[in-house]
């Protein structure tokens, strides 16, 4: 089950955290994985090396998703080179936290540039080869805070809610081409993005997670593998929550 042999997958922001776990899990299930990075070329190479050492196939591709023209051109090239692009995991994202009253306009713009405009540019480019092939999988990374909100994360939460609206709309637009589009909404996952939190903040947060612990990047990656698989062919326009019951 969930085999992805012969498929080509692109994971944006694949050099660490949830992105890295997705790269490794997709490769483990047979996909050839393209590990996108923006600054961490060495880290992206390390992901590739780990995948090849485990018997999988991977390569790296450096581009900034927020530079939509460059991102689209890079994805067009990759699809041409491989003759296909079956799976996009639009994972690249940033968090800039702050209370609304202190939030700078440029931070709001930057969040939307990367988390929304960037993800949509990648999706737009990915749909071209998928439409031609009449099959494809697009998986966006949303967040529990996009659905339930969070103090100090107004703009970030807004970008993650926007992604859900986008996923549902793109799912409707491309259903006739057999391209499925879903969002995975992780809860509190232990990665570099959450390492800035103090132990006291983490303790408070874990108290509101019914499963009583934070999640791992691997647990999010498993949801992405499922949505990328043939077994999920009838699932589109959905939000798959991986949050330990934090929001039900
Ligand atoms: P992370 O900070 O460890 O990784 C984010 C990755 O995105 C990094 O590799 C980074 O280089 C890349 N990236 C950032 N800007 C980019 C750009 N302009 N172009 C290309 N790549 C870029 O974070 P993570 O925790 O692994 O988060 C991955 C995704 O999951 C994000 O979209 C995040 O919003 C979402 N998410 C994370 C959590 C969590 O608790 N960690 C919870 C919910 C949602």
- DSSP for 165-226, please give it: HHHHHHHHHHGGGTEEEEEEEE-SB-SGGGTTS-HHHHHHHHHT-TTSS-B-HHHHHHHHHH
pLDDT per position as a tens digit, 88-107: 999 999 999 999 999 999 99
State the closest ligand 1 atom to the C-alpha of 65, by its place in the atom list counted from 1. 19
pLDDT per position as a tens digit, 43-85: 999 999 999 999 999 999 999 999 999 999 999 999 999 999 9
- Predicted TM-score of the model (pTM): 0.98
Buried-state track 180-196, b at ≥16 Cβ within 10 A, e below 16: bbbbbbbbbbebeeeee
pLDDT at residue 194, as a whole number? 82
Which of 37, 156, 234, 247 is labelled catalytic? 156
pLDDT at residue 196, as a whole number? 81
pLDDT per position as a tens digit, 189-238: 998 888 888 888 888 889 999 999 999 999 999 999 999 999 999 999 99
Question: Is-catalytic flag, 156?
Answer: yes
pLDDT per position as a tens digit, 125-165: 999 999 999 999 999 999 999 999 999 999 999 999 999 99
Cα(54) to ligand 1 centroid in Å equals: 24
pLDDT at residue 204, as a whole number? 87
Question: Residue 86 pLDDT more than 90?
Answer: yes
pLDDT at residue 213, as a whole number? 96
> For a pocket test of ligand 1, which of 10, 16, 18, 48 has the largest count of ligand atoms closer than 8 A to its C-beta?
18
* Residues forming beta bridges with residue 10, ordered by sequence position: 34, 88
Three-state secondary structure string covering the chain: CCCCCCCEEEECCCCCHHHHHHHHHHHHCCCEEEEEECCCHHHHHHHHHHHHHCCCEEEEEECCCCCHHHHHHHHHHHHHHHCCCCEEEECCCCCCCECHHHCCHHHHHHHHHHHHHHHHHHHHHHHHHHHHHCCEEEEEECCHHHHHCCCCEHHHHHHHHHHHHHHHHHHHHHHHHCEEEEEEEECCECCHHHCCCCHHHHHHHHHCCCCCCCECHHHHHHHHHHHHCHHHCCCCCCEEEECCCCCC
Cα(85) to ligand 1 centroid in Å equals: 22
CA dist 240 and 179 (Å) reads 17
The label of the residue with tokens 């490794």 reads: 24
State the closest ligand 1 atom to the C-alpha of 159, by its place in the atom list counted from 1. 34
Q: What is the DSSP letter of 102?
A: G
pLDDT at residue 195, as a whole number? 83
Contacts of 236 (CB under 8 A, 6+ apart): 171, 175, 180, 181, 182
pLDDT at residue 197, as a whole number? 82
The binding-site residues of ligand 1, defined as CB within 6 angstroms of any ligand atom, are: 12-13, 15-19, 36, 38, 40, 64-66, 91-94, 114, 118, 141, 143, 186, 188-189, 191-194
* Residues forming beta bridges with residue 88, ordered by sequence position: 10, 138
Average pLDDT, the chain: 97
What pLDDT band is residue 183 in, cutting at 50, 70 and 90? very high
């Amino acid at each position: 089950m969930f085999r992805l042999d012969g498929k080509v997958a692109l994971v944006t922001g694949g050099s660490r955290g949830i992105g890295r776990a997705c790269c490794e899990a997709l490769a483990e299930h047979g996909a050839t994985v393209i590990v996108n990075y923006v600054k961490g070329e060495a880290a992206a190479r390390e992901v590739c090396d780990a995948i090849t050492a485990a018997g999988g196939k991977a390569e790296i591709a450096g581009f900034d998703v927020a530079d939509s023209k460059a991102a689209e051109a890079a994805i067009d090239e990759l699809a041409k080179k491989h003759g296909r692009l079956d799976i996009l995991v639009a994972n690249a994202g940033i968090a800039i936290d702050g209370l609304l009253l202190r939030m700078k306009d440029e931070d709001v713009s930057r969040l939307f540039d990367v988390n929304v405009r960037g993800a949509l540019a990648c999706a737009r480019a990915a749909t071209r080869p998928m439409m031609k092939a009449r099959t494809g999988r697009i998986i966006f990374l949303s967040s529990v805070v996009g659905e339930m909100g969070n103090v100090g994360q107004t703009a970030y939460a807004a970008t993650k809610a926007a992604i859900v609206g986008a996923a549902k709309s793109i799912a409707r637009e491309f259903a006739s081409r057999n391209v499925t589009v879903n969002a995975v909404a992780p809860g509190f996952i232990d990665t570099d993005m959450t390492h800035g939190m103090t132990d006291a903040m983490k303790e408070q947060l874990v108290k509101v997670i019914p499963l009583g612990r934070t999640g791992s990047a691997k647990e999010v990656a498993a949801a992405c593998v499922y949505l990328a698989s043939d077994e999920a062919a009838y699932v589109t326009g959905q939000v798959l929550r991986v949050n330990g019951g934090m929001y039900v």
